[in-house]
C-alpha cells in the first residue's frame, strides 16, 4: 500500500519511476543550461584544417617571403583568438604569472613602442587602466611562453608558421584570408586594422584598438577561421630564420595597414615580452576534439616551457 491507501500496480510503479527519471534529467538540463554561458565563453572551439600542398610566401612581398612549396599535415586551429575570458580562466586555475607580470612592464603603443611599468594582460596600457568590459577581446600583453603555457593547459600547442599561413590562405594561397580584395571595400569590413605598417590605430572600422573576437565574419579564412588578419598579431612556435632568438608572429594587428595583414607577411619578436598588439591562438593535432573545456581549478597542470622550432 502507498500513502494514499491505494495498492500500487506494477504499471503505476514503472510510470512513477519514469516520471522521476524525467524530472531528474530536466533538473540536470536546467543546471547545465544555467551554467552554459560562462562555460561557452571559456570553451575553446577548434576548426579542422584538412592539410595540403601550397606555396608559402608571396613573390611581391618582403625578401623573407620568398615563395616555397610546403606540405601541411591535417591539424586543428582555434576559430578565434584567445580571449581575456579564456585567459582569466587559465590564470585562476593555474596561478600562472605572465612574463610581463614577472618583469613588471609591457610594451604600449603611443606613437612609438614604450616600455610601461605595470602593463600586463589585466592592464594592457599600464597600471592605471584595465580590461573592463573586454572579456571577449583577444588577450594581449602575453609572451610566447605565456601563450605556450595556456595552450599546453588545454592539451594544445602554438601553431607552426607553415600551419598558420596555410590556415589563413588555404591551398590557393590567397593574399588575405578572404581572398585578394582589400580589407575594406564597398562598405564591407573584413578586419580590424589601422593605417600604417607600425602603427596607427584607425577607428573607422569600428575599433581603434582591439575588437571582440569574431567581429568581422566576412574576413574568415577558407576554413572558417576568423580574425587571422588584423585585431592582434599572433605568436607562432617557429623561430624566425636569420634572427637568432626571435620568433615569428603573423596576421597584423589593430595598428597595421593592409600590407601587413597579408597572409604571407612575417614579423619577428623576442618571445619573452608582452605587447599591446600581440595575442595568439592554439593549434591541436588532427585527432583533437573540436571543443575543449578548461580544466577545473586545482587540476594538475604541467605548463610546457616555450621552445621555438622550425627553420632557423
Least separation in angstroms between residue 296's CB and Ca ion is 37
Is 192 a binding residue for Ca ion by CB under 5 A? The answer is yes
Is 163 a binding residue for Ca ion by CB under 5 A? The answer is no
CA–CA separation, 212 and 192 (whole Å): 10
Cell numbers at 247, concatenated = 620568433
Contact 237, 159 (CB under 8 A): yes
Least separation in angstroms between residue 195's CB and Ca ion is 9
What are the angstrom distances between the C-alpha of 156 and each of 204, 233, 234?
35, 19, 15
Least separation in angstroms between residue 280's CB and Ca ion is 19
Residues in contact with Ca ion, shown as a per-residue x/- string from 205 to 224 under the rule CB under 5 A:
x-x-----------------
Nearer to Ca ion, 76 or 125 (CB): 125
Specify the stretch interacting with Ca ion by CB under 5 A; choose among 139-147, 164-172, 203-211, 297-305. 203-211
Cell numbers at 180, concatenated = 585578394
Specify the stretch interacting with Ca ion by CB under 5 A; choose among 1-9, 144-152, 195-203, 244-252. 195-203
Nearer to Ca ion, 146 or 227 (CB): 227
Specify the stretch interacting with Ca ion by CB under 5 A; choose among 38-46, 58-66, 127-135, 186-194. 186-194
Cell numbers at 31, concatenated = 543546471
Question: Which member of 99, 101, 120, 202 binds Ca ion (CB under 5 A)?
Answer: 202
Nearer to Ca ion, 57 or 230 (CB): 230
Mode of pairing for the β-strands spanning 291-292 and 44-49: antiparallel
CA–CA separation, 152 and 102 (whole Å): 20
Least separation in angstroms between residue 264's CB and Ca ion is 21
Bond prior to 119 in cis (omega within 30° of 0)? no
Is 81 a binding residue for Ca ion by CB under 5 A? The answer is no
- The strand pairing partners of 108, in sequence order, are 114
CA–CA separation, 148 and 240 (whole Å): 17
Look at residue 299 and give its three-state secondary structure. coil
Residues in region 228-287 near Ca ion by CB under 5 A: none
Q: Which of 50, 237, 16, 250 is nearest to 145 (CA)?
A: 237
Least separation in angstroms between residue 255's CB and Ca ion is 8
Contact 257, 198 (CB under 8 A): no
Least separation in angstroms between residue 129's CB and Ca ion is 18
Nearer to Ca ion, 83 or 192 (CB): 192
Least separation in angstroms between residue 93's CB and Ca ion is 32
Total chain residues near Ca ion (CB under 5 A):
4
Look at residue 215 and give its three-state secondary structure. coil
Residue recorded with cell 581572398: 179
Per CB under 5 A, residues contacting Ca ion are: 192, 202, 205, 207
Amino acid at each position: 500500500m502507498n500513502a494514499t491507501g491505494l495498492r500500487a500496480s506494477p504499471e503505476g510503479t514503472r510510470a512513477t519511476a519514469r516520471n522521476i527519471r524525467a524530472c531528474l534529467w530536466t533538473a540536470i538540463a536546467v543546471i547545465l543550461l544555467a551554467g552554459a554561458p560562462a562555460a561557452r565563453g571559456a570553451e575553446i572551439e577548434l576548426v579542422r584544417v584538412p592539410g595540403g600542398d601550397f606555396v608559402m610566401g608571396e613573390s611581391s612581398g618582403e625578401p623573407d617571403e620568398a615563395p616555397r612549396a610546403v606540405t601541411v599535415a591535417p591539424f586543428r586551429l582555434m576559430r578565434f583568438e584567445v580571449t581575456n575570458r579564456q585567459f582569466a580562466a587559465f590564470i585562476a586555475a593555474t596561478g600562472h604569472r605572465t612574463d610581463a607580470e614577472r618583469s613588471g612592464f609591457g610594451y604600449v603603443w603611443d606613437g612609438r613602442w614604450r616600455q610601461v611599468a605595470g602593463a600586463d594582460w589585466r592592464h594592457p596600457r599600464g597600471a592605471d587602466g584595465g580590461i573592463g568590459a573586454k572579456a571577449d577581446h583577444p588577450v594581449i600583453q602575453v609572451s610566447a611562453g605565456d601563450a605556450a603555457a595556456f595552450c599546453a593547459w588545454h592539451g594544445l600547442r602554438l601553431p607552426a608558421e607553415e600551419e598558420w599561413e596555410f590556415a589563413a590562405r588555404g591551398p590557393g594561397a590567397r593574399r588575405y584570408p578572404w581572398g585578394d580584395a582589400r580589407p575594406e571595400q564597398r562598405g564591407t569590413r573584413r578586419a580590424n586594422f589601422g593605417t600604417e605598417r607600425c602603427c596607427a590605430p584607425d577607428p573607422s572600422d569600428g575599433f581603434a584598438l582591439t575588437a571582440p573576437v569574431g567581429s568581422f565574419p566576412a574576413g574568415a579564412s577558407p576554413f572558417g577561421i576568423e580574425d587571422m588578419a588584423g585585431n592582434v598579431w599572433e605568436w607562432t612556435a617557429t623561430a624566425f630564420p636569420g634572427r637568432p632568438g626571435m620568433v615569428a608572429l603573423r596576421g597584423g594587428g589593430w595598428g597595421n595597414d593592409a600590407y601587413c595583414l597579408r597572409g604571407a607577411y612575417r614579423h619577428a619578436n623576442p618571445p619573452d615580452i608582452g605587447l599591446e598588439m600581440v595575442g595568439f591562438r592554439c593549434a591541436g593535432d588532427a585527432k583533437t576534439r573540436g571543443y575543449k573545456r578548461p580544466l577545473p581549478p586545482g587540476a594538475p597542470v604541467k605548463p610546457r616551457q616555450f621552445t621555438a622550432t622550425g627553420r632557423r
